[in-house]
Chains A and B, each alone.
Chain A
Amino acid sequence: MITIVRPLADLVDRDHRRQLTRVVAMFVTTGVLQGLAFACVVPVLDAALRQDWPAATTWLLVLAGLFVAHHIALTVGNLDGYDLACDLLDITLARLGDHTVRLPLGWYDQDRTGQLSRMASKGATDIASVPGHLLRPLISAVVSPVTVVVVMAFLEWRLALALLVGVVAVLATTRLLAVIVGRGEGAYDAAMAQGSARVVEFALNQPALRVFGRTVHGNELVETALREQKRASRRLLVTGFGGLGIQLLSIQALLTLVIALAVHLSLGGTLAPATAIGLLVLTVRFVESLIDYGELSSALRIAEGSLRRVLDVLALEPLPEPATPAEPADSGIELREVAFSYDGSTRVLDEVSLVAPPRSLTAVVGPSGSGKSTLLRLVARFHDVTAGSVMLGGVDVRDLGTEALMRRVSIVFQDVYLFEGTLRDNVLMSRPGATEDDLAEAARLARADDIVERLPHGWQTRIGEAGSTLSGGEKQRVSIARALLKDAPVVLLDEATAALDAENEAAVQEALTALSADRTVIVIAHRLQTVVAADQIVVLDGGRIVERGSHSELLAHGGRYLDFWRERTQAEGWRLLEAPQGPQSP
Chain B
Amino acid sequence: MARSPLLQTLRPVRGRLVGSLLLMVVSTVAGLVPLVGIVELARILLPALTGSPVDGGRAWVVVWVSVGALLVRLATVLGSSWLSHVADLDLSIHLRRLLVARLGRVPLAWFTERNSGTVKKAVQDDVAALHHLVAHSVMELTAAITLPSVVAVYLFVVSPPLALVTLVPLALGLAGFRISMRGAGALYRDYDAGLAELAAATVENTGGIAEIKTFGATGQAHRRLAEVATRFGGFNRAWMRHSALGMLLMELALTPALTLVLVLGAGVWMLRSGWVTGLDLVPFLVLGLAMTAPVTVAGYAARELREATEAARRIQRLLAEPELPQPASPAPVPASSRVELHDVSFAYSPGAPPVLHGIDLVLEPGTVTALVGHSGSGKSTLTKLLPRFADPTAGRITIAGTDLREMTSAQLYEQVSFVFQDTGLLRTSIRDNIRLAHPEAPDSEVRRAAEGAQIAGRIDELPRGYDSVVGEDGQLSGGERQRVAIARALLSDTPILVLDEATAAADPESEALVQRALSRLVAGRTLLVIAHRLSTVTAADQIVVLDEGRVAELGTHEELRARGGRYARLWAADQRAHPADGWAEEESA
To the question of whether A and B form a pair in one complex, the answer is yes
Complex Cα gap A120–B101 (Å): 36
Which of A212, A276, A420, A473 has its CB near the most chain B CB atoms (within 10 A)?
Answer: A212
Residue B150, interface by CB 8 Å: no
Complex Cα gap A94–B232 (Å): 11
Residue B462, interface by CB 8 Å: no
Contacts of A97 in B (CB 8 A): 205, 222, 225-226, 229
Q: Mark B99-133, 1 if CB is under 8 A from A, else 0.
A: 01101100010010000110110011000100000
- Asked if B282 and A571 make an inter-chain contact with CB atoms under 8 angstroms apart, the answer reads no
Interface residue stretch chosen among B48-56, B307-315, B336-344: B48-56
- Name the distance in Å between B401's Cβ and chain A's nearest Cβ: 22
Residue A266, interface by CB 8 Å: yes
Interface residue stretch chosen among A153-161, A169-177, A229-237: A229-237
Complex Cα gap A435–B81 (Å): 70
Residue B8, interface by CB 8 Å: no
Contacts of B7 in A (CB 8 A): none
- Asked if A196 and B260 make an inter-chain contact with CB atoms under 8 angstroms apart, the answer reads no
Select which of A212, A417, A580 is within 8 A of B516 by beta carbon: A580
When C-beta atoms are compared, the residue in chain A nearest to B211 turns out to be A417
- Name the distance in Å between B583's Cβ and chain A's nearest Cβ: 5
- Asked if A105 and B570 make an inter-chain contact with CB atoms under 8 angstroms apart, the answer reads no
Given A430-B215, A528-B583, also A576-B512 (CB < 8 A)? no
Complex Cα gap A199–B537 (Å): 38
- Asked if A214 and B225 make an inter-chain contact with CB atoms under 8 angstroms apart, the answer reads no
Residue A218, interface by CB 8 Å: yes
- Asked if B233 and A44 make an inter-chain contact with CB atoms under 8 angstroms apart, the answer reads no
Interface of B is mostly: helix
- Name the distance in Å between B79's Cβ and chain A's nearest Cβ: 11
What size tier do the contact residues of chain A reach?
A: 35 or more
Contacts of A125 in B (CB 8 A): 195, 236
Complex Cα gap A37–B259 (Å): 11
For window 399-453 of B, CB contacts with A under 8 Å fall at 409-410, 413-414, 416-418, 420-428, 432, 436-437, 439, 451
Given A202-B103, A222-B100, A277-B282, also A505-B577 (CB < 8 A)? yes
Complex Cα gap A60–B266 (Å): 10
Contacts of B217 in A (CB 8 A): 429-430
Residue A344, interface by CB 8 Å: no
Complex Cα gap A382–B577 (Å): 32
Contacts of B218 in A (CB 8 A): 101, 402-403, 406
Interface residue stretch chosen among B158-166, B182-190, B502-510: B502-510
Residue A322, interface by CB 8 Å: no
- Asked if A34 and B208 make an inter-chain contact with CB atoms under 8 angstroms apart, the answer reads no
Given A78-B251, A97-B225, A206-B103, also A221-B204 (CB < 8 A)? no
Contacts of A260 in B (CB 8 A): 63
Given A108-B210, A214-B437, A284-B38, also A234-B420 (CB < 8 A)? no
Which of A229, A241, A574 has its CB near the most chain B CB atoms (within 10 A)?
Answer: A574
- Asked if B389 and A108 make an inter-chain contact with CB atoms under 8 angstroms apart, the answer reads no
Contacts of A204 in B (CB 8 A): 111, 116, 422, 424
- Asked if B268 and A56 make an inter-chain contact with CB atoms under 8 angstroms apart, the answer reads yes
Interface residue stretch chosen among B12-20, B69-77, B352-360: B69-77
Complex Cα gap A571–B506 (Å): 12
- Asked if B413 and A213 make an inter-chain contact with CB atoms under 8 angstroms apart, the answer reads yes
- Asked if A430 and B216 make an inter-chain contact with CB atoms under 8 angstroms apart, the answer reads yes
Given A202-B103, A577-B539, also A105-B213 (CB < 8 A)? yes
For window 300-356 of B, CB contacts with A under 8 Å fall at none
Given A93-B232, A208-B424, also A406-B216 (CB < 8 A)? yes
- Name the distance in Å between A570's Cβ and chain B's nearest Cβ: 5
Contacts of B534 in A (CB 8 A): 502
The count of A-to-B residue pairs whose CB atoms sit within 8 angstroms is: 480
Contacts of A230 in B (CB 8 A): 89, 92-93
Contacts of B522 in A (CB 8 A): 576-577
- Asked if A86 and B237 make an inter-chain contact with CB atoms under 8 angstroms apart, the answer reads yes
Contacts of B211 in A (CB 8 A): 416-417, 419, 429, 479, 482
For window 239-273 of A, CB contacts with B under 8 Å fall at 241, 244-245, 248-249, 252-253, 255-256, 259-260, 262-263, 266-267, 273
For window 402-443 of A, CB contacts with B under 8 Å fall at 402-403, 406-407, 409-411, 413, 416-420, 429-430, 432
Select which of B116, B195, B210, B512 is within 8 A of A574 by beta carbon: B512
Complex Cα gap A206–B103 (Å): 9
When C-beta atoms are compared, the residue in chain A nearest to B508 turns out to be A526
When C-beta atoms are compared, the residue in chain B nearest to A471 turns out to be B375
Residue B298, interface by CB 8 Å: no
Complex Cα gap A569–B272 (Å): 107
- Asked if A486 and B265 make an inter-chain contact with CB atoms under 8 angstroms apart, the answer reads no
For window 493-509 of B, CB contacts with A under 8 Å fall at 500-509
- Asked if A281 and B203 make an inter-chain contact with CB atoms under 8 angstroms apart, the answer reads no
Given A429-B220, A572-B578, A575-B535, also A211-B418 (CB < 8 A)? yes
Contacts of B70 in A (CB 8 A): 249, 252-253, 256
Given A105-B210, A280-B38, A505-B577, also A136-B512 (CB < 8 A)? no
- Asked if B213 and A63 make an inter-chain contact with CB atoms under 8 angstroms apart, the answer reads no
Residue B523, interface by CB 8 Å: yes
- Asked if A226 and B207 make an inter-chain contact with CB atoms under 8 angstroms apart, the answer reads no
Residue B2, interface by CB 8 Å: no
- Asked if A60 and B124 make an inter-chain contact with CB atoms under 8 angstroms apart, the answer reads no
- Asked if B116 and A584 make an inter-chain contact with CB atoms under 8 angstroms apart, the answer reads no
Residue B172, interface by CB 8 Å: no
Contacts of A132 in B (CB 8 A): 240
- Asked if B539 and A63 make an inter-chain contact with CB atoms under 8 angstroms apart, the answer reads no
- Asked if A199 and B100 make an inter-chain contact with CB atoms under 8 angstroms apart, the answer reads yes
Interface residue stretch chosen among A68-76, A300-308, A350-358: A68-76
Contact sample, A vs B, 17 pairs, CB 8 Å cutoff: A45-B285, A70-B255, A89-B236, A101-B205, A113-B206, A195-B124, A210-B104, A213-B410, A256-B63, A280-B286, A402-B218, A429-B215, A429-B220, A486-B215, A499-B503, A502-B534, A569-B583
Nearest 7 A/B pairs, CB to CB: A208-B424, A499-B502, A506-B577, A93-B229, A273-B45, A502-B574, A526-B508
Given contacts A120-B198, A248-B77, 19 further A-B contacts (CB under 8 A): A41-B264, A74-B251, A93-B233, A113-B206, A125-B236, A196-B120, A200-B119, A208-B488, A209-B424, A213-B414, A213-B492, A226-B96, A237-B82, A241-B81, A263-B59, A429-B217, A495-B508, A503-B570, A574-B512
